[in-house]
Chains A and B, each alone.
Chain A
Amino acid sequence: MGTRFISKERLKEFIKKLEGEVFIPQKLEDTFRWQRYPTEFTLEGFRTIFPPKYFFYNPQEILKEKQTNKRTVIGIKACDLRGILFLRKVFKEGDFIDPFFRDDILIISADCTYTEKNCFCTLLNDNPYPEEGYDLNFSELKDGYLVDIGSERGEALVTENEIMFSTVDQQQIIDRDMMRERVIKEIEGKKIEINGNIDEGKIIDYINKCVSCSACTNICPACFCFLLDEKKDFEKVRYWDSCQYPGYARVAGGANPRKKLDKRFIHRIKCKFEYSPVRFDSRGCFACGRCISACYGKINFKDVLQSL
């Protein structure tokens, strides 16, 4: 579908043209946070503090037909985009389709231009730049962005605003390739390979630090579990749930196969690396490293995976 160039100045104009709500990262200290129409925004750096999952899958919502605003999310990084594509498989494929997970959101992703200490996508052989699933993808260069068109919707948007975009020269492509190579090299460490049985002994010291708070699953861009609650007139509300809560897997008779901490912790690893590939033809971890920053027990999930 092609690649264009847009200057930094023109990007601001382009964003003003977008209909509905627009969310973009804003840099605060050394972190990135989602803001609605910020005056200052950025596409640099790495993933935001909270995953964009929130825009697609509401943490608490009434499951009935409702009006939604048009929505664009700009600056989604590669790991998070993979998370969204994974969630889309969960909610939008199979015999039943979930009508409440949003797949109407315009997705404008962006390459990572540098990483943070907990990022580990390349250790799972993923790249720090989006490869599929976006409407448009932005790769930051010195004076502007290369814009990859990834869908008809993206194409239409560029065509409507043709005047803001210019053609791309070979040097810009080379510059981008160099930037991507540089970012890939920033992440170092042992590659993660999880296959077959998980040897609990190797990670028991990590497991014992878990306090079952669910911070990791809530902040995960790919965790999808939820709980239903019954309201008046047969209306339902759903809340994000977590397999790390002790009561999560309990059945009516009181039996609970994952009452023990180690079982729950290992279930999380298996869900992501063993079961999701069978269920959804995709791994369920995209190495964003948020669970490492969020963990109350200071468990480094990357180290856990590397020890297996």
Chain B
Amino acid sequence: MSYNPYKPILSKVTSIIDETHNIKTFTLVHEEEFEFKTGQFVQFVISEVGEAPFTPSSSPYVKEKMDITIMKAGRVTNMIHTLKEGDLVGIRGPFGKGYPIEDFYGREVLILGGGVGMAPLRSLLLTLIAQKDKFKRLLLLYGAKTPGDIIYKEQFADWKRQGVEIYRTVDNGDETWKEKTGVVTVLCDDVKVGKEIAIVCGPPIMMRFGTFKLLDMGYRPENIYLSMEKNMSCGIGKCGHCALGPYFVCKDGPVFKYSEIEHLEDIWD
């Protein structure tokens, strides 16, 4: 029989990091070769339970292992959170189109991220950093609910050292928080930008306000890249679950230019 796209490869959980009270990062070592492009997604399979789609959060240049950062949000993710080091899971994919990195060469790239949306953005950031001389400027604007909800806490300093300009905010600060407070769009007022490329990833409400803010600032719809979450199941454009207008997010996305989808209904739901 020909290649079976429904069959996962096996992968071993080799480490688990608690990022926040409801977000964990799982490091997986696959039993077969596996490659992905940044922004593509995989299906994370728990035998007898189900599967759920995630975009890996590690660099695609690291082949021997892969990180996936997962927030508890339902039946499958709750189950994933009970995994222990050494457990075997399945991985299907990679699916969809990733970020068109080459199209960003020579330009200023602004990344707007919220909450667990930082997971795919970390993979993107690491990809950009690996070839940072190719870009005019890299900026990261990140927002979380509280300081405790910030993921990859230890890594921001390193990204800064690599030349990424970083601005952060939380909705509700505490006595330790010395940076900005307010929703992530408040950071946009603090930066002077050339309005070239913008990439947005986060919860739906944040994607919506983030995109509108970027448009207000003067970003063009075709230069705003959104990573869309839809009910992905098969991953291969057959099952119909991820329909977004005429697109199947699993194969035509998950990354879309805003100009490709702005005329569609219900993109933020």
Q: Which B195-249 residues have a C-beta within 8 angstroms of A?
A: 203-204, 229-231, 233-234, 236-241, 243, 245-246, 248
By the criterion CB–CB under 8 Å, are A65 and B47 in contact? no
The residue that B234 contacts in the complex, of A64, A226, A250, A271, with Cβ under 8 A, is A226
Contact of B241 among A225, A255, A279 (CB under 8 A): A225
* Cβ contact within 8 Å between A248 and B241: yes
Could you tell me if A91 and B238 are in contact, using CB atoms closer than 8 angstroms?
yes
Q: Is B186 in the interface zone, CB < 8 Å from A?
A: no
A251 to B47, CA, bound (A): 20
Among A225, A234, A258, the one with the most B-chain Cβ atoms within 10 Å of its Cβ is A234
Q: From B5, which residue of chain A is reached at the shortest CB distance? A: A96
Residue among A95, A232, A271 making CB contact with B236, cutoff 8 Å: A95
- What string of 1s and 0s marks CB contacts (under 8 Å) between B96-114 and chain A? 0000000000000000000
**Range class of the A interface residue count:** 35 or more
B7 contacts partner chain A, Cβ-Cβ < 8 Å: yes
Please determine whether B236 and A275 come into contact, CB atoms closer than 8 angstroms: no
**B contact residues around A250 at 8 Å (CB):** 231
CA distance A97 to B4 in the complex (A): 8
A190-224 contacts to B, CB under 8 A, are: 224
Max chain B Cβ within 10 angstroms of own Cβ: one of A241, A257, A267: A257
Residues A226 and B1 in contact, CB atoms below 8 Å apart: no
Q: A232, B48: Cβ atoms under 8 Å?
A: yes
Contacts of A275 in B (CB 8 A): 243, 245-246
Q: Is the CB of A257 within 8 A of B269?
A: yes
Q: With A226-B234, A279-B246 given, is the CB distance from A241 to B204 under 8 Å?
A: no
Is B16 at the interface (CB under 8 A from chain A)?
no
B251 at the interface (CB under 8 A from A): yes
Which residues from chain A contact B230 at a C-beta distance below 8 Å? Answer: 249, 251
CB distance from A188 to the nearest CB of B (A): 33
A residues 72-112 in Cβ contact with B at 8 Å: 90-91, 94-99
Interchain CB contact under 8 A, B240 and A252 = no
Q: Does B146 contact A (CB under 8 A)?
A: no
B239 touches A225 (CB 8 A): yes
CB pair A63 B4 closer than 8 Å: yes
B240 / chain A contacts, CB cutoff of 8 Å: 224-226, 241, 243, 271
Closest A residue to B77 using CB positions: A252
Pick the residue among A238, A258, A274 that contacts B246 (CB under 8 A).
A274
Choose among A230, A249, A256, A274 the residue that contacts B45 (Cβ–Cβ < 8 A): A230
In the complex, what distance in Å separates the CA atom of A253 from the CA atom of B1?
37
Q: How many residues of B contact A (CB 8 A)?
A: 42
Q: Is B157 an interface residue (CB 8 A)?
A: no
> A234-B7, A253-B203 in contact; A226/B236 too (CB < 8 A)?
no
Asked if B90 and A234 make an inter-chain contact with CB atoms under 8 angstroms apart, the answer reads yes
Contact partners of A274 in chain B: CB under 8 A: 246
- CB proximity of B248 to chain A, nearest CB, Å: 7
**Which residues of A are found within 8 Å of B234, using beta-carbon distances?**
226, 228
Closest CB-CB distance, A124 to chain B, in whole Å? 20
**A185 within 8 A of partner (CB):** no
CB within 8 A of A90: which of B3, B51, B238? B238
What residue in chain B is nearest A228 (Cβ atoms)? B233
Most A CB within 10 A of own CB, among B5, B229, B243: B243
Of residues 91 through 148 on chain A, the ones whose CB sits less than 8 Å from some CB of chain B are 91, 94-99
| Min distance, Cβ B208 to any Cβ of chain A, angstroms | 12
Cβ-based interface call for B62 (8 A): no
Q: Are B231 and A251 in contact (CB under 8 A)?
A: yes
Contact B246 A230 (CB under 8 A): no
**Which residue, A96, A267, A275, has most C-beta atoms of chain B within 10 A?**
A96
Tell me the minimal C-beta distance from B260 to chain A in angstroms.
12
A236 lies within 8 A of chain B by Cβ: yes
A258: chain B residues at CB < 8 Å are: 266
Q: Which residues of B contact A233 (CB under 8 A)?
A: 47
Q: Which of A226, A234, A251, A279 contacts B248 (CB 8 A)?
A: A279
Q: What residues of chain B lie closer than 8 Å to A232, measured between beta carbons?
A: 47-48
Kindly provide the distance from the CB of B165 to the nearest chain A CB, expressed in whole angstroms. 30
Contacts of A249 in B (CB 8 A): 230-231, 241, 243
Cβ proximity bits A246-266 to B, threshold 8 Å, 1 near / 0 not: 001111111111100001000
Question: What 0/1 readout, one digit per residue, does chain B (41-63) give for beta carbons within 8 Å of chain A?
Answer: 00001111111100000000000
Measured CA separation A178–B49 after assembly (Å) = 59
Chain B residues positioned under 8 Å from A231 (CB to CB):
47-48
Closest Cβ of chain A to B190, distance in Å, is 29
How far apart are the CA atoms of A92 and B45 in the complex, in Å?
A: 24
In the complex, the answer to whether A94 meets B237 with C-beta atoms within 8 Å is: yes
Pairs of residues from A and B, 3 with the lowest C-beta to C-beta distance, nearest first: A225-B240, A96-B236, A257-B269
29 A-B pairs (CB sep. < 8 Å): A63-B6, A90-B238, A94-B237, A95-B251, A96-B236, A226-B234, A226-B238, A226-B240, A228-B51, A230-B48, A230-B50, A230-B51, A232-B47, A234-B7, A234-B10, A236-B7, A238-B6, A238-B239, A241-B239, A243-B240, A249-B231, A250-B231, A251-B231, A252-B52, A253-B73, A253-B203, A253-B229, A271-B240, A274-B246
14 other A-B residue contacts (CB within 8 Å) besides A65-B4, A234-B45, A252-B74: A65-B1, A90-B238, A95-B237, A99-B1, A226-B240, A230-B48, A231-B48, A238-B239, A241-B239, A243-B240, A251-B231, A252-B231, A256-B269, A275-B246
